Amino acid sequence: MAHDLIVRNVEILDGTGADAFRGDVAVAGGRISEVGQVTAGLTANGVEIDGEGATLCPGLIDTHAHDDGAFFRYPGMEFKLAQGVTTVVSGNCGFSAVPADPQADSVAASGGILAGVEGQFTDLEGYFAAVLERSPAINNMMLVGHNTVRSLVLGQEKRAPSSAELQRMREHVGLALEQGACGFSSGLIYRPGRWSDTEEVTELAKMAAPHDALYTTHMRNEGDHLLDAVDESLTIGKDSGVHLHISHHKSAGKANWGKVKASLAKVDAAIADGQRVTLDVYPYTAGSGRMIEYFNLKNIDTQLAAVVRIASCPAFREYEGRMLVDIAAEENTDLKELTLRILTAPRGDRTLCIQFIIDEADVETNLRHADMMVGSDGIPDLRGRPHPRLFGTFPRVLGYYVRERGLMSLPEAVRRMTSLSAQTFGLHERGSIQPGFWADLLLFRPDQVKDLATYDEPKTEPVGIELVVVNGEVAYRGGQHTGVGSGQMLRYRRSSFQQ
Ligand code: ZN
Ligand code: CU
């Protein structure tokens, strides 16, 4: 069989954690056709690329994305593709594009995180079809989110659902899982999820059990009550009988730094007991999200305000990229007043912020932990100055944490960002370089790869990423996005969604 693409002369890291070996990789019909010694030739329109000794690995998998709406607003997905990411898992932290009611403003509840998805579909198949019309650059796997489902059924009511309401929530979750979602996600610090009790979440997580799918969580607390929140998550995982995945593991706030060790010990004990638990982390000391979720307007936390920077702010664009303390000093006001003014302004609830709340030592503790995966948690709002994790997460792991800090070997880092994530999130026939698997590939220079996105200049693509192939098509090469749009919509442990 002749090949459509041959990448010659590369160090192959197959994604399993094995050491690199020298060889060639060939692609035919979107899939990897030969590895190592390539014998057959090219088709008439085939492309041959000389890798010149660079490293070829499977395309990277971002296990924690909020790209549900980005697939509509930015189908070129440049901020992910340029990092070597070929698949994202969206619908995290309890916010997902589906289920949706075209009559209701499904975006409002997410505070803009889902902007771009309005009124085009109701269920996962409708979402997949609508995204495919935009020819997305990369692949997408979806979670169905608790906050979204709860908003749809109960609005913003601060109470437990009736049994009829719970049943409707179950049906929404069940339908998404049937249509190919990889699990149910929660974001229990956010509204309306924060008004639910453990039992409600457990009942909904149970819907994932027949599919052997996941329960992923942005836990109820990541600061003073981190360990209680880990206990709650483990209980939900156990009682629902599903695989628990803890998102962006951290301990937030100076008083809590170091607690990630105790939290990981709880996870390790549960694993030793036979429970299925995994985690991911982003490689930065700041979090980011919708500002109004972090503040009680009746009692502004000025300690938190002191470490907050504005990412995007429709009410005061001039504040974007600035620390609240600097704005307050310049305007001769105090942090409390400034925070209130921002959050109560028209569309103030759409303000996204960046909080410097994490200890660098904890980031390293997390990354050193066995089987820790990497999720960017990037929020794709390109109008302001987003958290640099949106453009920098994966090259930062490969460049800073692997090459410079030596936290793990390169084959191990690649395994955690490819085959491990693919197995965990049910990406069928992806995540390793082997014949028959989909040809999602990344060619990079381990000695050069580096994130360039900073808090001041966050929308900067990394260096050292030479070539990215998505489903056999060259999507990025030599700093250029080809616009080929070969991404697929993935279904949990099944073939991709086809229209
Ligand atoms: Zn989250
Ligand atoms: Cu998130």
What's the first-to-final CA gap in the chain, in angstroms? 28
The Å distance, Cα 275 to ligand 2 centre, comes to 24
Distance 92 CA to ligand 1 centre (A): 7
**Ligand closest in space to the Cα of 143:** 2
Report the sign of the C-alpha dihedral through residues 97, 103, 109, 112, in that order.
positive
Low-confidence ranges of the chain (pLDDT < 50): none
CA of 10 to the centre of ligand 2 (A): 35
**For residue 442, how far is its CA from the centre of ligand 1 (angstroms)?**
27
pLDDT confidence of residue 120:
79
The structural domains of the chain, ordered by start, are: 3-57+455-485 (2.30.40.10), 58-285+357-431 (3.20.20.140), 288-355 (3.30.1490)
Type of residue at 113 = I
Q: What residues pair up with 21 in beta bridges, in sequence order?
A: 12
Query: How many of the other CB atoms lie within 10 Å of CB of 133?
Result: 11
Kindly list the distances between the CA atom of residue 333 and the CA atoms of 143, 296, 345, 347, 490, in Å, as whole numbers in the listed order. 42, 19, 16, 21, 50
Ion ligand 2: residues, CB within 5 A, are 92-93, 377
* Ligand approaching nearest to the C-alpha of 249: 1
Token pair belonging to 192: 């309306």
pTM of the model: 0.97
Query: How far apart are alpha carbons 401 and 409 in whole angstroms?
Result: 10
| Residues 6 or more apart whose Cβ sits within 8 Å of residue 152 | 99, 100, 101, 104, 106, 172
Q: What is the pLDDT of residue 102?
A: 75
Size (the chain), residues = 499
CA 368 to chain centre: 19
* The pLDDT of residue 208: 98
Rounded Cα–Cα distance for residues 302 and 309 (Å): 13
pLDDT at 88: 98
